[in-house]
Amino acid sequence: MTQQKDVPTLYEWAGGMAALERLTAEFYRRVAGDPILAPVFERMSADHPHHVALFLAEVLGGPADYSAMHGSHAGMVMHHLGRHLKETQRRRWMQLLIETGDDVGLPTDPEFRSAFVGYLEWGSRIAVINAQDGVEPPPADTPMPKWGWGVPGGPYQP
């Protein structure tokens, strides 16, 4: 879908980098105390929330800083190889991230949330698939996903 000039990207609608930084910082703070997710992220670097914010920003139509600094989508996938993620962990990750989005003030209009949660569902399922044994690393030139509104007409208009 081609982005119209007067329709903001999901990144812009969310509140830009500041909103995504708030989201990921608070989310990973909560992850550390979560019995289902804490073991998955116990060796997470202090920069991990920032890297995830950069990744989300790029996917949602913001600057391509993640790709410039950390590689493409293939680089993100590589972090999941062999991690043996389970569906219960994926579901908890989704639940906690959506709750955190509510608490940090991400937009709550149905158009934004359906697009945002649609990406999270897709991305988290890809992470689980790529975390299983025998998965080959993706080609280095695997394109970064680009997520948009998903419906003609764009964002919610109050």
Residue 87 lies in a domain: yes
- pLDDT tier at 156 (50, 70, 90 boundaries)? very low
Residue 126 lies in a domain: yes
The length of the chain is: 158
Distances (CA, A) of 101 to 2, 52, 97: 26, 14, 6
Per-residue pLDDT reduced to its tens digit, 96-129: 999 999 999 999 999 999 999 999 998 898 888 8
The 3-state DSSP class for residue 29 equals helix
Measure the CA angle with vertex 142, ends 50 and 18; round to 5°.
20
Q: Give the domain CATH number at 81.
A: 1.10.490.10
Total domains in the chain come to 1
pLDDT confidence of residue 50:
95
Residue 139 lies in a domain: no
State how far the Cα of 4 lies from the Cα of 43, in Å rounded to an integer: 42
Residue 157 lies in a domain: no
Per-residue pLDDT reduced to its tens digit, 9-29: 999 999 999 999 999 999 999
Per-residue pLDDT reduced to its tens digit, 47-82: 989 999 999 999 999 999 987 776 775 666 555 555
Residue 29 lies in a domain: yes
Where in the sequence is the domain holding 60, given as residue range(s)? 10-130
Residue 155 lies in a domain: no
Residue 153 lies in a domain: no
Per-residue pLDDT reduced to its tens digit, 122-139: 889 888 887 877 877 777
The pTM of this model reads 0.85
Residue 152 lies in a domain: no
